[in-house]
Structure 1
Amino acid sequence: MEEGAVPESSTFARLEQQVLGGPRVLSLPELAERLGVGEERLEFVWRPFGLPEDRDDKVFTERDAEIVGRLLAVSEENMLGPTAASSLVRSAAHLTDRLAVWQLEALVDHIADRFGLDDISARLVLLDRLVDVVPLLEDQLVHSWRRQLVAHAALMATQLDEGTPPTRLPLARAVGFADIVSFTARTAGLTAEGLADFVQDFETRARDVVSRAGGRTVKTIGDAVFFVADEPRRGATVALDLAAAFPVGGATPVRVGLVWGHVLARFGDVYGTPVNLAARLTGEAAPGEVLVDDATAQALAADPTLRLTGLDERELAGIGPVTPSRLERA
């Protein structure tokens, strides 16, 4: 089957009709004509979805026409520029692409384990039953998005009330990394399935620890988790809880770097010198150790529940000389 081709089975046709809201009836030129725009402009909005298509194939549904038409209409009213519209589409496509794969593979594993099926049989069962699961997955996605949107909007409102110096990057955040010690050596003998289970277990546990401590996971990178928190004390809690959850002697001991500073949030990621510094400190930490820079140590110094031990100055690549401190609970 060619990339982007649609299976012709009646089961998949039923799934597609329900999920996409109808059959694929429009090609790209036909959709452009329907919306009264040039194909180049339409591609600028549609291409960020990241879905393969041939311009002459019938790949667009009436629902596609409605959504893209609304994006273009808002853009024409100067409420949303073309670049912003493309960025919003790309953000949703990027996240939902990974989400869809994650959900499908989780369901395949569940079916295989529950019914004792091989991988191919489990996938066939899933395709047959997926149409019944879609409403729940959709409701879960929308509900989670609403909760996250309100949480981040509330945080934004709090920061605006406190005021932010105009010459600084807009967000004051504690940023940190927790990195699995000797990841390559620990996973060298694993099968593909074993490696996937190893990484999934680490990511799941790490995300749970970060959430419970009041932080947010920006992303996981196989052998590391990148997190943020909105105040130094909360960042310290996340860092120390991660070190405790993956102790030396366990299957996945970690080392942690934490920095408090001003950063920039874009495209679902976080950027700035504090991020680079936190990554470098993580590489300098010993197994089970949490390292912070001098500015972060000063921000935490008054907390009686924490203990900070100054270490020797060292040169960090791309950063320069840094005097780290070891962070522990008192």
Structure 2
Amino acid sequence: MTEADDDSLARAILGEELAFNAAEVAAEAGVTIDETRRLWRALGFPEHGVERAFTRSDIDAVARLVGTVDAGLFDFDTAVNLTRAVGQTMARLADWEVGALVHRVEELEASEEATGTRVGSALRLIEDLMDPFEALLLYVWRRHLAAAVVRMETLGANEEDLHTTEVTVGFADIVGFTALSNEISRDKVGDLVELFESRCADVIATHRGRVIKSLGDSVLFVSPDAISAYDTAEGIINVVGRDARMPDVRLGLASGSVVMRLGDVFGPPVNLAARLTAVARRNRIIIDAATAALLPVDQFETRRLPARPVRGFGLVEPVAVRRN
């Protein structure tokens, strides 16, 4: 694809010409050049110096964001953090979307609807998808915002620190992923990871949990209580580990207080859940003592395993668990 093709696609997506440099954006938005560059970096883009790389919409976006700061809704540092959250989220979404649509562009060019070039098919696809997908983004954001507000309350956030809450953290890990990825093609590795992540996400959502992050061969999630976390872990084993076409998995669960910030979670339970997967056998669940104490004894059978050193935690007694 030529540079002209790239420009055509960019203009089609942005809907505007790149007519302003960073200094002009800053001047028209009423901010300093340093603040403009800080916001642009937070979105995840490199600086452009004196190059005309910005549109009128870029100016409007900066002005709106700074307007919320001037109105006292939050300070500039918070604005940068929110901008970084949006940038990181949208960057991954855009990569995911483009990866999915590449196949559709190739299909269009191989069909009777071919335009003669992939750029032509891409432009037509963008034109057809832009408005409905933008509406979908706004709808999904509102739904997740509502769910996040409710979740902050139901997870038991204390009044002194709304970021801190008690949860059970789960870590699902594909067994032998490195060796497996060396044995199969890159396309098959990608398909495997996508299937693993999607199946885990479906199970986690079904049991009222939330995916925090996917790391290719592993998924980190949180659940509102230990029983839901166990049901989630068992569900992941059922749809991944017990499928003959999929690799085996290991699950670690740990409970306690975590800090929820910028869409991520931090705290000892997060690290311990990840460490416990190294203890678990194939298609088995290993939990910590805190999680074991939260499971009703009339529903679950737990068995303490020999203490062993766990990096960052000293000697730990992992607990094997199963339903009665």
State TM-score, norm by structure 2: 0.89
Residue correspondence of structure 1 range 129-140 to structure 2 within 5 A: 129-140=125-136
Residue correspondence of structure 1 range 26-37 to structure 2 within 5 A: 26-37=20-31
Question: Residue 305 in 1 paired to residue 302 in 2?
Answer: no
Task: Summarize the Cα distance change of 1:314–1:135 in structure 2 as closer, same or farther, 3 Å threshold.
Answer: same
CA distance, structure 2, for counterparts of residue 91 and residue 278 of structure 1 = 25
CA distance, structure 2, for counterparts of residue 55 and residue 256 of structure 1 = 48
Who is 1:322 aligned against?
316
**Which runs of no fewer than 5 residues in structure 1 stay unpaired?**
none
Q: What is the aligned residue count?
A: 320
CA distance, structure 2, for counterparts of residue 140 and residue 249 of structure 1 = 33
Q: Is the 8 A contact 1:202 1:252 kept in 2?
A: no
Per-residue CA deviation, residues 213-233 of structure 1 (Å, 9 max, x unaligned), is 221111111111111011111
Question: Residue 285 in 1 paired to residue 280 in 2?
Answer: yes
Who is 1:272 aligned against?
267
CA distance, structure 2, for counterparts of residue 155 and residue 29 of structure 1 = 42
Who is 1:142 aligned against?
138
What amino acid is the match of 2:264?
D
Question: Residue 156 in 1 paired to residue 152 in 2?
Answer: yes
Residue 88 of structure 1: how far off its partner (Å): 0.4
Who is 1:16 aligned against?
14
Per-residue CA deviation, residues 234-289 of structure 1 (Å, 9 max, x unaligned), is 11111111122222573221010001111011221111001111111111111011
CA distance, structure 2, for counterparts of residue 158 and residue 256 of structure 1 = 25
Q: Greater CA deviation, 135-144 or 286-295?
A: 135-144
Who is 1:7 aligned against?
6
CA distance, structure 1, for counterparts of residue 162 and residue 57 of structure 2 = 43
CA distance, structure 2, for counterparts of residue 169 and residue 92 of structure 1 = 19
Q: Is the 8 A contact 1:247 1:253 kept in 2?
A: yes
CA distance, structure 1, for counterparts of residue 310 and residue 19 of structure 2 = 57
Q: Is the 8 A contact 1:255 1:288 kept in 2?
A: yes
Question: Residue 188 in 1 paired to residue 187 in 2?
Answer: no
CA distance, structure 2, for counterparts of residue 14 and residue 317 of structure 1 = 51
Question: Residue 99 in 1 paired to residue 93 in 2?
Answer: yes
Who is 1:253 aligned against?
248
What amino acid is the match of 2:263?
G
What amino acid is the match of 1:313?
A
Q: Is the 8 A contact 1:46 1:68 kept in 2?
A: no
Question: Residue 295 in 1 paired to residue 290 in 2?
Answer: yes
Task: Calculate percent identity across the aligned residue pairs.
Answer: 31
What amino acid is the match of 1:147?
R
Residue 158 of structure 1: how far off its partner (Å): 3.1
Task: Summarize the Cα distance change of 1:38–1:169 in structure 2 as closer, same or farther, 3 Å threshold.
Answer: closer
Q: Is the 8 A contact 1:243 1:254 kept in 2?
A: yes
Residue 77 of structure 1: how far off its partner (Å): 3.4
What amino acid is the match of 1:280?
R
CA distance, structure 2, for counterparts of residue 254 and residue 315 of structure 1 = 22
Question: Residue 173 in 1 paired to residue 171 in 2?
Answer: no
SS for the counterpart of 1:284 is: coil
1:65 paired residue among 39, 59, 63: 59
Task: Summarize the Cα distance change of 1:211–1:306 in structure 2 as closer, same or farther, 3 Å threshold.
Answer: same
Q: Greater CA deviation, 37-46 or 95-104?
A: 37-46
CA distance, structure 2, for counterparts of residue 289 and residue 313 of structure 1 = 18
Q: Is the 8 A contact 1:108 1:122 kept in 2?
A: no
